[in-house]
Structures are given as structure tokens and as C-alpha cells.
Amino acid sequence: MIPKVIKKIIENKVNEKVDETLEEIAETEKKLEEDEKMIDEIEKHKEEPKELEVVEIKSKYDSESKVLLVSCVDPRFSDDFRKFTRDKFGNFVHLSIPGGIGALVLPDLMPKPFKVLKQQIKFIVNGMDIEKIILISHDDCKWYKHNKGYFRGLQPEQQKLDITSAKKIIEEEYDIQVECIHAGLKNGKVVFVS
């Protein structure tokens, strides 16, 4: 025979558990109701997407794009970076990031951008079977100007040093060819130099 007092304790515990479970069920039902309301709201405002432009896919990366171009985002140069790389190396993967490879040589001063850039390169090199990397720096880079406190040298000499250092860093990590190119501005034209 279970003593009365023990029986009472067990009863109380069971009741507590039942109450807790009922509360949880009510909570879940409330959430489901809210979700349903949200879905209804989304459905109400759903519009058919408008086609802005339809273009044929001209490139694919599977067997053709063994080249990765890492460059700055500067719109004065972007088209020329892409044209230069396509003309010289064919199809390629473009990693466009402010300052290009700049953050890769500043692991201590810019730990977060360094880490992000390193991870992005790793993902592309391993995930897309890259065999060659092209690093392009350019004259009058706004990222370098903005971050000049981090660098000892002046533009564009500092950038040329940095792409050479970045080349070493990448070559130490991957069995891959790295080419450094600088895009200079001369009489309103972009001049690519090795």
C-alpha cells in the first residue's frame, strides 16, 4: 500500500505535468494560428513576378572555368577586368570584393575581412576545381585610400606588394598557379601590367 501522503505528492506532480503539457499544446496551437495568418497575408499580397529581361545563358563553369579572378569592385575598371581576363584566359569565376585581395595580407589588422576572403577563396578553389588565380590590383583604389592607416606604403606600390604577398599566401595553401596583374590609369585608358 502506498502511504496517503506519498500518493498525494505523486498526484500533485502528475497534475503539474498535465498542466505544463496543456500549456505547451496551447502555445503551439497559438503559434500555428499566427503562422497560418501570416501565410494568408503573404498569399493576399502575392503578385506574379514580372519578367524584366530574358537572356540565354552564355557561360557555364563546369568544365570551362578553371580560372578565378579576384579583383576590386570599382565600376571604372570592372568591365575591363572582365574583358582582359576573358580574352586572356577564357571563361572564369569572378570574386569581386572592395580592395580586391587587400584584406588577405592583413590577418591581424583586419581579422574579419581576412577570414571572410580566405573562406570565399577556399570555397571557390575547392568547390569549382580552380587551377589558376588572377589577382588584379588597380590605380586610385578607393578601398586602399579609405584604409590607408593600415598600410605602410603608398598606392599603387603598396597594392603591387600586396598582390605579390597574397600570391605567396595562396600558393602556400593550394597547389595552384597565381598570376599578379596591376591595372594602371594612363591618359584616360586602363593599362594592364604584369
Question: Contact region for Zn ion (CB under 5 A) — 8-16, 68-76, 116-124, 168-176?
Answer: 68-76
Question: Does residue 121 bind Zn ion (CB under 5 A)?
Answer: no
Residues from 171 through 190 that contact Zn ion (CB under 5 A): none
Q: How far is the CB of 122 from Zn ion (least distance, A)?
A: 23
Q: How far is the CB of 79 from Zn ion (least distance, A)?
A: 14
Residues from 13 through 52 that contact Zn ion (CB under 5 A): none
Among 115, 93, 94, CA closest to 103: 115
Question: Does residue 97 bind Zn ion (CB under 5 A)?
Answer: no
Q: Is 161 exposed, middle or buried (0-12, 13-18, 19+ CB in 10 A)?
A: middle
Q: How far is the CB of 118 from Zn ion (least distance, A)?
A: 19
Q: How far is the CB of 87 from Zn ion (least distance, A)?
A: 21
Q: How far is the CB of 194 from Zn ion (least distance, A)?
A: 19
The answer to whether the CB of 146 falls within 8 A of the CB of 74 is no
Question: Contact region for Zn ion (CB under 5 A) — 18-26, 36-44, 50-58, 64-72?
Answer: 64-72
Among 48, 88, 94, 42, CA closest to 71: 94
Residue type, 79: D
Report the residue number, 78 or 91, with the smaller CB distance to Zn ion: 78
Residue 139 CA to residue 141 CA, distance in Å, equals 6
* Sole binder of Zn ion in the list 68, 72, 121, 166 (CB under 5 A): 72
Q: How far is the CB of 102 from Zn ion (least distance, A)?
A: 8
Residues from 129 through 168 that contact Zn ion (CB under 5 A): 141, 143
The answer to whether the CB of 38 falls within 8 A of the CB of 61 is no
- Lay out the sheet containing 177-186: strands in order across: 92-96, 67-71, 132-138, 177-186, 189-193
Cis-peptide into 98, omega within 30 deg: no
CA dihedral 60, 63, 64, 65 (to 10 degrees): 80
Question: Does residue 74 bind Zn ion (CB under 5 A)?
Answer: yes
Report the residue number, 110 or 141, with the smaller CB distance to Zn ion: 141
- Residues making contact with Zn ion (CB under 5 A): 72, 74, 141, 143
